[in-house]
Amino acid sequence: MIGRLVTTALVSIALLGCASAPARFYTLSADLPPGAQASKIAVVVGPVSIPAQVDRPQMVITQGPNQVRLEENDRWASPLGDAIASVVAENLAAILGTPRVTLFPDRMAGDGAYGVAIEVQQFLSEPGTAASLSAVWTVRRAADGRTETGRTRVREPVKGSGYADLAAAHSRNLAAMSREIADTLAALSTEETRRLRSN
């Protein structure tokens, strides 16, 4: 009887310990400095699609070519697709020097806006090692439907062993992609300006 009570008490303590483990939440961040030249270009970022395996609150850790681990107590603070869109939008506003960068669906941007759709194909997390991003993105000029498509593949070392360091590495990957998208936006905008001046 005593042994049974002791066992029950130990199980209860173990369950209490598991239940009280605090969850930790992480965010992606935009920290690019403002661009040298201001512009009036209007950009709508989205939609952003991400692989189903990482489309969840928990951090999904890559353990091998065919194995991942869900971290129940280490989670993204917001849906990952929304976080990616927000960070890219902030990065583009900084790089292009324009306040007119919004998130899809924006009904107020007008016919002069450029749309940026992003399909994330890989979003790999290896704590203490690297964060990897593979994405295809398309920039569309609303005025005439002209599109340009590009692919970003980056693997950023993680500068530390913590999950905050991992989130920071993912943020640097998004900064790299944002620069490539910004270059395409700037080229399309310059092309459109020259066309309008020649008419």
Tens-place pLDDT, residues 117-165: 999 999 999 999 999 999 999 999 998 999 999 999 999 999 999 999 9
Give 193 or 73, the one with higher predicted confidence.
73
Instruction: Give me the number of domains the chain comprises.
Output: 1
CATH code for the domain of 119: 3.40.50.10610
Q: Which domain holds residue 109?
A: 24-198
- Domain-embedded: residue 17: no
State the distance between the two ends of the chain, measured CA to CA, in whole angstroms.
95
In this structure, what token pair is assigned to residue 96?
Answer: 């292009």
Give residues with Cβ within 8 angstroms of 90, minimum separation 6: 30, 32, 101
pLDDT of residue 108: 64
Is residue 122 in some structural domain?
yes
Counting DSSP H helices and E strands in the chain, the numbers are: 3, 8
Q: Is residue 85 part of a domain?
A: yes
Confirm whether 12 is domain-assigned: no
Tell me if 19 is assigned to some domain: no
Phi/psi at 29 (nearest 5 deg)?
A: -135, 155
Assigned token pair, 81: 């697709």
User: Is residue 16 in a domain?
Assistant: no
Query: Could you tell me if residue 11 is inside a domain?
Result: no
More confident: 1 or 149: 149
Residue 5 lies in a domain: no
